[in-house]
Chains A and B, each alone.
Chain A
Amino acid sequence: MAGPADVSDRRKIRIKVPALTRVEGEGALDLSIRDGRITELKLNIYEPPRYFEKFLEGREPAEVPDIVARICGICPVAYQMSAVQALEQIAGFTPSADLNKLRRIMYCGEWIQSHALHIHLLAAPDFFGCNSITELARSHAAEVHRGLLLQALGNDLIALFGGRSVHPVGVKLGGFHRVPDQAARTALADRVDAALPAAAELVRWCASLPLPHDDQDFVSVSLRHPSDYPITGGRLLSDTGLDVDISEYQQHFVEHQVPHSTALHALLNHEPYLVGPLARLNLNRDRLPAATRALADETGIRFPSRNMFHSLVARALEIHLALTEAARLLAQPDDDDSLTTPASPLPAGTGFGCTEAPRGTLWHRYDTDADGLIANAVIIPPTSQNQSRIEQDLHRSLTRLGLNRDADSLRLRAETVIRNYDPCISCATHFLTLNLVRDTSPTDPSDRRPLLLLGTGSALGTDSRAPQLVTALARDPTLQPYIADGRLRLLASLQPLRDGLSLADASARLVVLDTLSGTPTAGRLRHLRLNGAEPPPAWSSHQLSLPQLAELRTLVGVDQPLELLALPPAPTTTPDGPVQATHVAVVRDWLLTQLVARTAVSDTEPADKSDPA
């Protein structure tokens, strides 16, 4: 690795993190530093999408718990619970107090198991210079054994209700296939009570670790319940004033795709936000049981906290909370032994479910058809909600650490920052490979073809959205270096070309920016490479046809397939209202990915995949 940096160098650092976030599998962190500033920071997710939301269509509601459990091996219970909540709403079924109690115990088991695994297997080794829990066990055997004991107890609580802790089989619409008897509950309750002192010690140990000071501004989002610490339900709250029913989620939180990720990013009012243990604690400290709250106070940390490194302590506190709840609820006898079941098949309808998975708010929506089968599913996991926040955090954290630090320090800080979020497959954090390239020349991209972005429409008339957007992009500071060295050309209309402007480079990429007519939500960009086939009419409000495309290509003088970049219609009352800042950002981000060198993994764009469907 390289030594201390010379700030005047045009220094480019690429950090690669394999296996990152909820979507498990390959992920990379791209970091570019130039002249002492971060110019590019992207969390790239390469995990192949498994298309759960699509193959849920046409399935019976009774199958949904078994299906969605397979989204995540560490938190299957969370998926099952959010799902049954939504489906029971469609059925018009209200869980009894007994059922809510039993579900809460099972969910506590998952919190205990997941948090204990994260703290000991994934996070703790860092604070002792170890690479793994097995190394840590040599120097801190007692703490490791304590962690494994808590993890096993969590697993057994889940298995009490579901037979096994990974993809348990007990949850169903209307309740459980088998309710554990009192003897089984009592046996587990004894173990839970016996574990409380260990959980308290764990909180103290976590608070004693050398956690960096790194306060940042961020928005915390979680559920909130009238009386309990939120696990199984509540209203959606933020610490900036949001307080809505879960059915309104899609009106406030927008998912959009970024080019470097196969997981959709979510924004609240166009801003990144945090879900997870720290967000929950920030919003619900007053809901902690007395003993847990006393422990929180004992740590000396003031909650709400702005320091993501306190997430570790938040997790330990939540283990204590979950054990306390489980002990309390296991001891409560059932009011009513009977279990009712919702009528089958379900009616046509829409249902929402939102619960707090170990990693944060997990939101489901299902629509059923007239046959009572699933017609549509939307599932928004906590880790994808955190992705924008992780990027924002890395940006600020690394800048604050000092971008002139050596490569190893930067890499280690990035690792620990990512780990605070406990992305669901946190294995990444140990494998940041830092390739430090010191050069004084412009970045060395794999694709040096100039890119010409052309906004269709008329800058003067009502059809001015794309030209206005191109004009806004021309003013964007991050694009200036590329415009200056000729790698990016922005044209707000065809007129200069008709007037005789020529582009010398026939290999240039011609990308036409256009407005999509009639489809989904704001922020989504669609990109097509047109290999001679006519685009489907729905893609282009200008109904770009083959002859017009041919004219464009001749006019511009390029010999490459034309590319179409289509914006969704603006959600304003006038079809061509003021250019939205979101769309400028989305198109700019896309341009940056095209202009800056990409990693070996992402620079293959299978041409046949971009043919119009």
Chain B
Amino acid sequence: MKPSVAVHKFSSCDGCQLAFLNLGEDLLALTELVDIRHFLEAGLAEEDAKVDIAFIEGSVSTSEDAARLRHIRDNSRHLITIGACATAGGIQALRNLHDTTGWTAALYASPQYIDSLDQVTPIRDVIPVDLELWGCPVNGRQVIAAVQQLLFGVAPPRQQDSVCLDCKRAGNTCVLVSGNAPCLGPVTHAGCGALCPAFGRACYGCYGPLENSNTEALAQQFARLGLDAAAITRRFGLITSGAEPFAGTVAKWRGLPT
């Protein structure tokens, strides 16, 4: 019997699911290897299916999300979160930095119809997660590799490199050193292939912070490059503002005078 897979979506742009849908021919090949039981965008609906691997895209935004997640966790042997929203709260975690009580009323005339939690949270705050694949969007190759590794009974390796290493492998000119650009590469997970430096621009951290990386030293360097406190806050607080150590750096620099 083929292993079974489900893909669930929460609050997100849907871009990480495209990691599957953009596979093209490989998507059809994947369906030969596994039995995709639930994947709404692909036309397969079985929310309550018990599966070997469940992929979760999106962050937790409503009170119903939490209940739905616990249900999915009970039904899945392995649970993998994909993308910045599921692993870090995503760009919508920027909401956590603001007093949003007025926001719903500002945008929606009848705010009580909007069931919204005060804080946007990643999936692991609600249920235990077996593997996190970071990225905005996640790298489709990494997702498929994770499926294959699990099918072989191997634990997928954790990504420990920074974007800098991918830049070196690609032979990119360092934009931080030679361009004085406020690049987050030294503190960001590799996985995108160092796209932004290859395009001559500073990395903006969409693959999320490396654990224990020295964001404070990098923030000091940005200050020396001429960024003020507000600009530094914005730099670390964009796609994955909710994840440490970016979140700590954001909190610290927000409090500083500009």
List chain A positions with a Cβ less than 8 A from chain B: 18-19, 24-25, 46-55, 58-60, 63, 66-67, 70-74, 76, 117, 121-122, 125, 131-134, 137, 144-145, 148-149, 151-152, 155, 163-167, 169-170, 172, 177-178, 256-257, 259-260, 262, 264, 424-428, 430-431, 524-529, 590, 601-602, 604-606, 609-610, 613
Contact = CB atoms under 8 A, between A and B. Distances in A.
A164 B195 contact: yes
Interface in B230-258: 231, 234, 238-239
B64 A257 contact: no
B109 A526 contact: yes
Contacts of B184: none
Contact of A49 (B15, B16, B47, B116): B116
A524 B201 CA distance: 43
A580 to B, nearest CB: 15
B11 A47 contact: yes
B40 A431 contact: yes
Contacts of B42: 121, 132-134, 427
B43 A170 contact: no
A49 B44 contact: no
Contacts of A526: 105, 109-110
B40 A55 contact: no
The 5 A-B residue pairs with the shortest CB-CB distance in the complex, in nearest-first order: A73-B15, A427-B40, A48-B61, A524-B109, A132-B43
Tell me which of A54, A55, A131, A264 has the highest count of chain B C-beta atoms within 10 A of its own C-beta.
A55
Tell me which of A132, A134, A144, A426 has the highest count of chain B C-beta atoms within 10 A of its own C-beta.
A134
Nearest to A604: B115
Contact of B45 (A72, A169, A431): A431
Nearest to B31: A134
B109 A54 contact: no
Given A177-B200, A590-B110, 11 more contacts: A51-B107, A60-B234, A70-B90, A71-B13, A73-B14, A117-B21, A131-B43, A145-B25, A167-B206, A257-B109, A526-B105
Contact of B43 (A72, A125, A425): A125
Contact of B15 (A46, A76, A132, A256): A76
A71 B195 CA distance: 20
B43 A49 contact: no
B22 interface: yes
B107 A54 contact: yes
A170 B114 contact: no
Interface in B178-194: 192-193
Interface in B60-97: 61-65, 90-92, 94-95, 97
Contacts of B90: 70
Contacts of B19: 166
Given A151-B22, A262-B114, A427 B41 contact: yes
A167 B15 contact: yes
A72 B13 contact: yes
A169 B24 contact: no
A49 B114 contact: yes
Contacts of A601: 64
Contact of A166 (B18, B95, B115): B18
Nearest to A59: B234
A375 B201 CA distance: 25
B238 A606 contact: no
19 contacts: A48-B114, A51-B107, A52-B92, A54-B95, A54-B98, A55-B92, A63-B238, A72-B13, A73-B13, A121-B21, A125-B43, A164-B195, A177-B196, A178-B200, A257-B113, A259-B113, A430-B44, A604-B115, A609-B114
B137 A167 contact: yes
A155 B200 contact: no
B28 A25 contact: no
Interface string B25-58: 1011001000010001111110100000000000
Contacts of B13: 24, 70-73, 76
B19 to A, nearest CB: 8
A525 B110 contact: yes
Contacts of B36: 134
B102 interface: yes
Given A24-B14, A70-B90, A163 B199 contact: yes
Contacts of B107: 49, 51, 53-54, 264
A259 B112 CA distance: 9
B136 interface: yes
Contact of B40 (A19, A58, A117, A260): A19
Contact of A55 (B15, B47, B94, B137): B94
Nearest to B57: A73
Contacts of B234: 58-60, 63
A524 to B, nearest CB: 4
B111 interface: yes
A441 to B, nearest CB: 28
A430 B42 CA distance: 9
B63 to A, nearest CB: 8
Nearest to A525: B109
Contact of A25 (B9, B63, B101, B239): B9
A54 B103 contact: yes
B178 to A, nearest CB: 15
B198 interface: yes
Given A67-B91, A121-B43, A131-B43, A177 B15 contact: no
Contacts of A54: 95, 98, 100, 103, 106-107
Given A51-B95, A54-B103, A133-B42, A178 B199 contact: yes
B9 A67 contact: no
Contacts of B195: 163-164, 169
Interface in B98-142: 98, 100-116, 136-137
B222 interface: no
A151 B201 contact: no
A550 B109 CA distance: 25
A49 B104 contact: yes
B98 A25 contact: no
Contacts of B108: 49, 257, 262, 264
A148 B196 CA distance: 28
A48 B238 contact: no
Contact of B24 (A60, A63, A152): A152
Contacts of B206: 66, 167
Nearest to B42: A132
B61 A262 contact: no
Given A262-B114, A428-B40, A134 B28 contact: yes
B62 A613 contact: no
A604 B63 CA distance: 10
B92 A50 contact: yes
Tell me which of B17, B41, B47, B65 has the highest count of chain A C-beta atoms within 10 A of its own C-beta.
B41
Nearest to A526: B109
A131 B18 CA distance: 19
B113 A24 contact: no
Contacts of A73: 12-18, 137
A22 B3 CA distance: 32
A145 B43 CA distance: 18
Contacts of B16: 73
Contacts of A256: 109
A377 to B, nearest CB: 11
Interface in B197-225: 198-201, 204, 206
A149 B188 CA distance: 33
Contacts of A166: 15, 18-19, 22, 137
A167 B92 contact: no
Contacts of A167: 15, 136-137, 206
